[in-house]
Amino acid sequence: MNPLELAGAGPGPAFEVTFDGRRIEALPGRTVAAALWAAGVTSWRTTRGGGRPRGVFCGIGVCFDCLVTVNDRPNQRACLVPARPGDVIRSQEGTGRAD
Amino acid sequence: MRTDLAVIGAGPAGLAAALAADRRGLRVALVDAAPEPGGQFYRQPAAGLRAERPQALHHQWRTWVGLRDRLATSSVRVLSEHHVWCVERTPDGPAVHALLGPEQEKPAEVRATAVLLATGGYETVLPFPGWTLPGVVTAGGAQAMLKGGLVVPGRTAVVAGTGPLLLPVATGLAAAGVRVAALVESADPGRLLRHAGALAGKLPEGAGYAARLLRHRVPFLARHTVVRAHGDTRLTGVTVAALDAHGRVRPGTERRLPCDTLAVSHGMLPHTDLAESLGCRLDGLTVAVDAEQRTDVPGVWAAGEATGVGGAALALAEGHIAGRSIAARLRGTVPDPGEWAPAARARARMRGYAAALDAAYAPPAHWTDRVTDDTVVCRCEEVTAGTVREALALGAGDARTVKLLTRAGMGWCQGRMCEPAVAGLAGCEPAPSRRPFARPVPLGVLAEQHEQHTERGPS
């Protein structure tokens, strides 16, 4: 049993997004974080100070640990932002801005 | 827009209040950050996933269906994807300021005669070595991703910490195909038994979870704790150990459990920022309310976790009472509490449960002993326990002084994640932290507010 089967999900066709240049499939309705988890990715940010990897922590938009760059917009919370067809998702290093 | 009542938060408390007020003829706006109503407890799979059996992930499904169907036939105006950052007192009543959509860059304003704060809560996780590794998530976060995205973070999970939330998270992950290697609860089940009288009504629920844990073969390790999460760039396992009666690790009991996911929680804290900026009196960490769920600020009510963490059933009762009180008060009448006696009885009973659970589930007394100096405490600003301890040695006596000396609590999350840990390391009780804005706000939005105020003239 997986979560989709458990909930009897019958989503429409998956669409493609890229993560750090790699093509991954995303199901309609999923957030960027959910799409990345489903593709086996659990970290997509490195911290400003120690350069340590981070991904989802609180999952509800409170902790800001899952920040990611989507279509060149840095600092998006992956757990809130829905994945859309063609999204270019990039790991965010530090502030996500050239500085 | 202008409305009679703005309800902030579309979880159990907000839904119950909105429906009760709508039924009594008020114009109600239900303002919520999520794309769909339900809050965290009733979080639904994203519409695009077309789930036919969402109830497989839920408890008290029939209650949700009732709320959902009543909302659909009501006149309540649902304002979803409105992230409220401030409620302002104005001469015409409260003004609710929000940011729109997941981008949170464009502002929106709702003006109301009354406002209900049903802002819910968020999880506390106390730090331990390795807790910042990818693969370590909050228990509620794992549940939210499962309920909303129908997705799990890995194949093998340990669910750990303390509190009643661990049970549905462990059984939910197991039902969704994750192997749950252990449920690690630091509390002593004996303490639950000591409150057996108060918790008698909760026994069937507890027995249901016990049966599900057995069915999914989830080992239950009571009086145990996770002492360390292992891994370099992601989680590969945890070390668990038994605790003695004083909350210290019993030497020689450490053992390693391989896992790719650790879902961890040490309780819940209420969101009180909006109440604080309105000037509402707090009682400890929660918003103080009277028997009608009124705060001490005229026109402002509060219900649900914001007034004391106690779960969905308590939130429903409090929301219902608040909605009826608001409907009566806005018509200029004094409500008759006899009309909501069943909800008041439920509220009293649920508050009793909450107090008993709170007493039974507490983080182990000596948890700070296990926080090594190199453990990051403030996840945003990457401030370690060693740095916090240096600040304490320099004379910092509370979380605020530690923050000024170390930056712990100055990051994106506004200190929500590290505050209980910093207070614990400082040896003081967590105090409400004053956040004038409940979330980060773009400077452009603030500048626009300023221009509006200037155009209107000084107020």
Using 50, 70 and 90 to split pLDDT, how confident is the model at B35? very high
Is there a contact between B52 and A58 if contact means CB atoms under 8 Å apart?
no
Question: Cα(A2)–Cα(B174) distance, rounded to whole angstroms?
Answer: 10
Token match 């005229």: residue? B298
Q: A30 contacts in B (CB within 8 Å)?
A: 46, 48-49, 149-151
Question: Cα(B311)–Cα(B356) distance, rounded to whole angstroms?
Answer: 13
Question: Cα(B284)–Cα(B301) distance, rounded to whole angstroms?
Answer: 17
Token match 């910093």: residue? B422
Q: A10 contacts in B (CB within 8 Å)?
A: 50-52
Q: Is the pLDDT reported for residue B120 higher than 70? A: yes
| B34–chain A nearest CA distance, Å | 8
What integer pLDDT is reported at residue A64 of this predicted model? 96
Which segments of chain B belong to CATH 3.50.50.60?
A: 2-122+269-335, 125-266
B72 CB contacts (<8 Å, ≥6 apart)? none
Q: Mean pLDDT per 10-residue run, chain A (99 residues)?
A: 96 97 97 98 96 97 96 95 98 84
Q: In the numeric block, which tokens belong to residue B33?
A: 């950050």
Beta bridge partners of B262: B136, B158
Question: Cα(B455)–Cα(B433) distance, rounded to whole angstroms?
Answer: 33
Q: What sign does the CA torsion over B176, B180, B186, B191 have?
A: positive
- Write out residues 104-133 of B within 8 Å (CB-CB) of A: 122-123, 132-133
CATH topology for B371-426 is: Arc Repressor Mutant, subunit A (1.10.10)
Q: B413 contacts in A (CB within 8 Å)?
A: 62-65
Residue B24 phi, psi dihedral angles, 5° rounding: -100, 20
Size of interface A-B (CB pairs under 8 A): 168
- Write out residues 274-293 of B within 8 Å (CB-CB) of A: none
Question: Cα(B392)–Cα(B398) distance, rounded to whole angstroms?
Answer: 8
Question: Cα(B58)–Cα(B64) distance, rounded to whole angstroms?
Answer: 9
Q: In the numeric block, which tokens belong to residue B239?
A: 């070390």
CATH 3.40.50.720 fits B2-122+269-335, yes or no: no
CATH 3.40.5.50 fits B125-266, yes or no: no
Mean pLDDT of all residues belonging to chain B: 94
Question: Cα(B30)–Cα(B13) distance, rounded to whole angstroms?
Answer: 11
Q: What is the pLDDT of residues B55-114, one digit of tens each?
A: 999 988 999 999 999 999 999 999 999 999 999 999 999 999 999 988 888 999 999 999
B76 CB contacts (<8 Å, ≥6 apart)? B18, B19, B22, B28, B29, B30
- Write out residues 166-185 of B within 8 Å (CB-CB) of A: 175-177
Q: B150 contacts in A (CB within 8 Å)?
A: 3-4, 6-7, 9, 30, 34
Question: Cα(B325)–Cα(B174) distance, rounded to whole angstroms?
Answer: 42
Q: What is the pLDDT of residues B219-264, one digit of tens each?
A: 999 999 999 999 999 999 999 999 999 999 999 999 999 999 999 9
Question: Cα(B373)–Cα(B389) distance, rounded to whole angstroms?
Answer: 8
Beta bridge partners of B31: B8, B79
Question: Cα(B194)–Cα(B354) distance, rounded to whole angstroms?
Answer: 14
SS3 content of chain B, % helix, strand, coil (to 5): 40, 25, 40
Strands, E assignment, B32-170: 77-79, 82-90, 93-100, 106-117, 121-123, 136-138, 156-161
Question: Cα(B185)–Cα(B294) distance, rounded to whole angstroms?
Answer: 36
Mean pLDDT of B401-415: 95
Q: Is the pLDDT reported for residue B454 higher than 70? A: no
Q: B146 contacts in A (CB within 8 Å)?
A: 3
Is there a contact between A82 and B102 if contact means CB atoms under 8 Å apart?
yes
CA B313 from centre of chain: 15
Contact with chain A for residue B423, Cβ under 8 A: no
Beta bridge partners of A13: none
Q: Which of A51-65, B197-211, B385-399 has the lowest mean pLDDT?
A: B197-211
Q: What angle do CA B16, B44, B266 make, to 5 degrees?
A: 80
Q: A37 contacts in B (CB within 8 Å)?
A: 145, 149, 151-153
What integer pLDDT is reported at residue B455 of this predicted model? 62
Residue of chain B whose Cα is closest to the Cα of A7: B53
- Write out residues 360-379 of B within 8 Å (CB-CB) of A: 379
Compute the half-sphere exposure of residue B43: CA atoms within 13 Å on the CB side of its CA. Answer: 17
SS (H, E, C) A70-82: ECCEEEEECCCCE
Q: What is the spatial order of strands in the sheet that A92-93 belongs to?
A: A53-54, A45-46, A92-93
Contact with chain A for residue B410, Cβ under 8 A: no
Question: Cα(A13)–Cα(B390) distance, rounded to whole angstroms?
Answer: 55
Mean pLDDT of B322-334: 98
Q: Which amino acid is at B448?
A: E
What integer pLDDT is reported at residue A99 of this predicted model? 56
What integer pLDDT is reported at residue B207 of this predicted model? 87
Among the partner residues A27, A42, A54, nearest to B153 by beta-carbon distance: A42
A6 CB contacts (<8 Å, ≥6 apart)? B53, B56, B57, B150, B175, B176, B177
Is there a contact between B412 and A34 if contact means CB atoms under 8 Å apart?
no
Q: Which of B175, B164, B141 is nearest to B58 (CA)?
A: B175
Using 50, 70 and 90 to split pLDDT, how confident is the model at B459? very low
Using 50, 70 and 90 to split pLDDT, how confident is the model at B432? confident
Is there a contact between B145 and A79 if contact means CB atoms under 8 Å apart?
yes
Residue of chain B whose Cα is closest to the Cα of A1: B177
CATH (residue range A13-93): 3.10.20.440
Q: What is the spatial order of strands in the sheet that B136-138 belongs to?
A: B136-138, B261-265, B156-161, B179-185, B220-222
> DSSP class of residue B339?
G
Among the partner residues A2, A8, A62, nearest to B51 by beta-carbon distance: A8
What integer pLDDT is reported at residue B456 of this predicted model? 58
Q: Is the pLDDT reported for residue B457 higher than 60? A: no
Query: What ipTM goes with this model?
Result: 0.97
Q: B269 contacts in A (CB within 8 Å)?
A: none
B214 CB contacts (<8 Å, ≥6 apart)? none
Rg (CA), chain B: 22
Q: Which amino acid is at A88?
A: V
Helices (H), B78-222: 139-149, 166-175, 189-194, 196-199, 203-215
B400 CB contacts (<8 Å, ≥6 apart)? B433
Question: Cα(B140)–Cα(B143) distance, rounded to whole angstroms?
Answer: 5
Residue of chain B whose Cα is closest to the Cα of A58: B141
Among the partner residues B35, B54, B382, nearest to A47 by beta-carbon distance: B382
